[in-house]
């Protein structure tokens, strides 16, 4: 089957009768088995996906098919789907079946997508390499000795390797955008409160956002058009109708773009990524955009602020997994105390336990004000300074990551080095602003890297429209 990078092209071929949803799903299933070594999927729902494909084929014939009919989507293993297993790639939820579906799952089903399976991820979305899964590493399809990024590595690789049209991930500090950069895909983190978190297994509730990973920005727009908007089950959502994500800017529209100087000229940035960013700046200027280097001397505070606050929230959120009502219970549990201690010690992996303990310390008496309260003040300061930039500019431009995908095991024994892999992505989560990663034009030694664009809160439609035009321009240049 021909590979389609845009749903609109695929749908046109589907409507023209060039193939059926069932044949497409069979092809994806075959490919997934052929590339099982990538470990992108924890489970493929073969019979169910084929049966649903046949149902949607009939809807297409009847003219009653939904907006995304036949789009084959993979679900990250922390997004609920009623009657299906969900484990956040953790032993503590191994074998657990969800009793309800996430709002995003329901909305996509209503528009006739086909869910093909659940994808591997870092345990409870805690990681930047997909090496923290209880079910093994995910491998980068471009170079199987390298990580795909995390925590949504399985979702990104499923799209990268052509095992589905799109995938859903979650982004707490870059967990959609960083793997997108490492795999040459498009990854989008919406404004906090734009997409319902109901049915997402929580890591850090004031940071988490569900978003799509696709081959094209256009497909991101299509998916966001369906999943965004108010939901009675999530009180943190922005009220009022969601924007029209399918709008596109006029070619004559020129933008003011701020480039964070420290993210281009700073230490630790791959020289070829820095050079690629400078070429991009020249290209945008040649197209008539106003591009200016802007100082942001707070980069070193982003990761510490992020980890103080997210581990505190994780400590609270993950207290529900204690071996009593559901999930893993230790065989050595004898009483209430041993059930808690043994089940959590055996069920959680090392990284999750590290973050729970750090978060518990941050929230403990005597340290709450020194760490958690100060972290909240730093968060507000970073938000204020970022908003000041966006008062004068439409977008902020920076690389998604300082390097290309690193080797498996390269940073596994150095948590601080691993945490710094998020240094360019956490700003959007700290501030609640939307951000997208799109593939850069040039590869570095055969490896992808990403261009990241941020906008002010609620400017999702404008951001996607600009990213769409930039991706089209990049693709035209490659051709």
Which residues are the active-site residues?
76, 151, 175
Q: Omega into 151 within 30° of 0, i.e. cis?
A: yes
Burial group, residue 131, by CB count within 10 angstroms (0-12, 13-18, 19+) = buried
The residues pairing with 168 across neighbouring beta strands, listed in sequence order, are 75, 212
Q: How many CB atoms lie within 10 A of CB 339?
A: 17
Cα 248–254–257 angle (5° rounding)? 105
Q: What is d(CA 236, CA 230) in angstroms, rounded to the nearest whole number? A: 9
Cα 264–267–268 angle (5° rounding)? 95
What Cα–Cα distance (Å) separates residue 3 from each residue in 24, 163, 241, 450?
A: 10, 10, 34, 22
Lateral strand order in the sheet of 209-214: 41-44, 114-119, 72-76, 166-171, 209-214, 186-189, 435-439, 450-454, 395-399, 256-260, 290-294
Q: Which residues neighbour 163 within 8 Å (Cβ) at sequence distance 6 or greater?
A: 28, 31, 32, 35, 40, 41, 74, 116, 157
Q: What is the DSSP string of 250-268?
A: -TT---EEEEETHHHHSTT
**Residue 270 contacts residue 181 (beta carbons within 8 Å):** no
Q: How many CB atoms lie within 10 A of CB 476?
A: 8
For residue 297 the two structure tokens come to 């001397």
Q: How many CB atoms lie within 10 A of CB 478?
A: 9
β pairing state of 435-439 and 450-454: antiparallel
For residue 223 the two structure tokens come to 């998916």
Q: What is d(CA 379, CA 374) in angstroms, rounded to the nearest whole number? A: 9
Q: Which residues neighbour 114 within 8 Å (Cβ) at sequence distance 6 or greater?
A: 21, 25, 49, 52, 53, 56, 70, 71, 72, 73
Q: What is d(CA 286, CA 102) in angstroms, rounded to the nearest whole number? A: 44
Burial group, residue 370, by CB count within 10 angstroms (0-12, 13-18, 19+) = exposed
Nearest to 319 by CA among 282, 283, 296, 348: 348
Secondary structure (3-state) at 102: coil
Cα 229–235–239 angle (5° rounding)? 40
């Amino acid at each position: 089957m021909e590979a389609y990078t845009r749903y609109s092209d695929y749908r046109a071929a589907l409507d023209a009768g060039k193939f059926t949803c069932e044949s497409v799903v069979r092809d994806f299933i075959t490919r997934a088995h052929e590339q099982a070594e990538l470990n992108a999927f924890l489970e493929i729902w073969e019979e169910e996906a084929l049966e649903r494909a046949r149902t949607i084929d009939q809807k297409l014939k009847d003219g009653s098919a939904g907006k995304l009919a036949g789009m084959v989507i993979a679900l990250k293993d922390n997004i609920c789907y009623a009657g299906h297993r969900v484990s956040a790639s953790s032993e503590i939820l191994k074998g657990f079946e969800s009793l309800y579906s996430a709002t995003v799952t329901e909305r996509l089903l209503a528009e006739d997508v086909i869910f093909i399976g659940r994808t591997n991820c870092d345990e409870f979305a805690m990681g930047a390499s997909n090496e923290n899964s209880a079910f093994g590493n995910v491998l980068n399809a471009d170079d199987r000795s390298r990580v795909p990024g995390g925590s949504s590595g399985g979702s990104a690789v499923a799209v990268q390797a052509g095992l589905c049209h799109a995938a859903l991930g979650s982004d707490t500090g870059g967990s959609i955008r960083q793997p997108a950069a490492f795999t040459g895909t498009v990854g989008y983190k919406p404004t906090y409160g734009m997409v319902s978190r109901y049915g997402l297994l929580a890591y850090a509730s004031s940071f988490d956002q569900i978003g799509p990973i696709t081959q094209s920005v256009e497909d991101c727009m299509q998916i966001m058009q369906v999943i965004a908007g108010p939901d009675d089950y999530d009180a943190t959502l922005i009220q009022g109708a969601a924007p029209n994500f399918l709008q596109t800017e006029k070619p004559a529209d020129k933008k003011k773009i701020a480039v964070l100087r420290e993210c281009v000229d700073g230490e630790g940035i791959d020289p070829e990524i820095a050079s690629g960013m400078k070429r991009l700046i020249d290209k945008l200027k040649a197209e008539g955009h106003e591009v200016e280097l802007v100082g942001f001397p707070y980069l070193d505070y982003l990761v510490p602020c992020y980890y103080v606050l997210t581990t505190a929230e994780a400590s609270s959120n993950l207290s529900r997994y204690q071996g009593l009502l559901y999930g893993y219970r230790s065989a050595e549990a004898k009483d209430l105390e041993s059930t808690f201690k043994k089940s959590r010690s055996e069920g959680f992996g090392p990284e999750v336990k590290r973050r729970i303990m750090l978060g518990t310390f941050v929230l403990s008496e005597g340290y709450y004000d020194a760490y958690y309260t100060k972290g909240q003040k730093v968060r507000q300061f970073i938000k204020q300074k970022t908003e000041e930039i966006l008062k004068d500019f439409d977008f902020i431009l920076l690389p998604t990551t300082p390097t290309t995908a690193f080797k498996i095991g390269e940073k596994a024994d150095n948590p601080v080095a691993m945490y710094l892999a998020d240094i360019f992505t956490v700003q959007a989560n700290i501030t609640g602003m939307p951000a997208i990663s799109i593939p850069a034009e040039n590869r570095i030694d055969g490896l992808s890297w990403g261009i990241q664009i941020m906008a002010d809160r609620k400017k999702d439609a404008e951001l996607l429209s600009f990213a769409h035009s930039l991706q089209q321009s990049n693709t035209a240049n490659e051709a």
